[in-house]
Copies of this chain bind each other. A is one copy, B any other.
Amino acid sequence: MKKLINHPDEVVTQMLDGMVKAHPETYKRLEGTTVLVRRNKSSNKVGIVSGGGSGHEPAHAGYVGEGMLDAAVSGEVFTSPTPDQVLEGIKAVDQGAGVLLVTKNYTGDVMNFEMAAEMAEDEGIQVEQVIVNDDVAVEDSTHTTGRRGVGGTIFVHKIAGAAAQEGKSLDEVKAIAEEVIQNVRSMGVAVSPAQVPGSGNPGFDIGENEMELGIGIHGEPGMETIEMTSADHVAERLIEEVLPELEVKDGDDVAVMVNGMGATPMMELYILNNRIHDLLYDKGINTELILVGNYMTALEMSGASLTVLKLTSELKNMLHKPCHTIAWNKSE
């Protein structure tokens, strides 16, 4: 696959510098690290730190800003950041009220964020961690024990970020983050793979007339390889897989994310949403918010994922609070 890069070893550092140069009012990069932190801090609030392997842009650095994250820690492509990098992020955002780590459920991330939390606690910083595991496609994949964390992570950023911005305590912010995790489910589909810079091959093989249902955001195998089918049928299948555990019913409110995997035209995402919206509407489910776009990607993978978050009144309240980040910008 052709890439507009310089050298595979430099992609993360040059990307981070390119982000700071585009948005100097939003970010600064902690010197000698892969950590982007908010330039304008709000005082005395709980800090929120997320991160993970690179290649999922705008996740996670795109969500750093007022009302969402205080820092994002980037690993190499599809590789967890090391504990010392995460520790730098924690130390940079702690203001005495403690720090919440939002981690996607991948073995490396969970281990490294946990280790960083312990190191920070040794330095007297109060740290809590939540693990996002919203992908209903597979239990125990090549990268994970249990379910993977994917697009639902963005709703955790939004709602925990709003709660922190409101001045809630670390325990309260953690509790609402856990509530989002309990109520959010996702599944994805891919029609073409991504390739890690410098690797010789795409992440998976797929036939000319096939798609992979239940794909992960690193090209991990999905639950089923199926024949290419219509957008409407894909929408129906994703809804069928995502909804049951949420037990949403007539009259419930949900937030929806129709997420592009990186190389999917907006046109296709809106065509998917056209059917997804109607399937929910027909069940009497109220779509309080629908996000359509590239929120949690996998380099140049082509495909889409559906995330549904069942809303309580508190989650709804936090969802509608303003946030100012490069990837999700919402006014009062």
Contact = CB atoms under 8 A, between A and B. Distances in A.
A55 B266 CA distance: 8
Given A262-B263, A274-B15, A324-B331, A5 B54 contact: no
B300 A265 contact: yes
Residue from the set A263, A265, A274 with the largest chain B CB neighbour count within 10 Å:
A265
B266 A4 contact: no
A231 B6 contact: yes
Interface in A184-209: 189, 191-192, 208
B268 A17 contact: no
A270 B4 contact: no
A21 interface: yes
B297 A2 contact: no
A241 B315 CA distance: 50
A30 interface: no
A142 interface: no
Interface in A267-302: 267-274, 277-278, 287, 290-292, 294, 297, 299-300, 302
A4 B277 contact: no
Given A262-B263, A274-B14, A274-B17, A268 B22 contact: no
A232 interface: yes
Interface residues of A, number: 61
A14 B232 CA distance: 10
Given A57-B266, A324-B331, A274 B4 contact: no
Interface string A7-47: 00001001111110111000000000000000000000000
A175 interface: no
A138 to B, nearest CB: 21
Nearest to A281: B21
A38 to B, nearest CB: 16
A264 B265 CA distance: 10
Residue from the set A192, A234, A263, A287 with the largest chain B CB neighbour count within 10 Å:
A263
B272 A302 contact: no
A300 B264 contact: yes
B231 A5 contact: yes
A156 interface: no
A6 B230 contact: yes
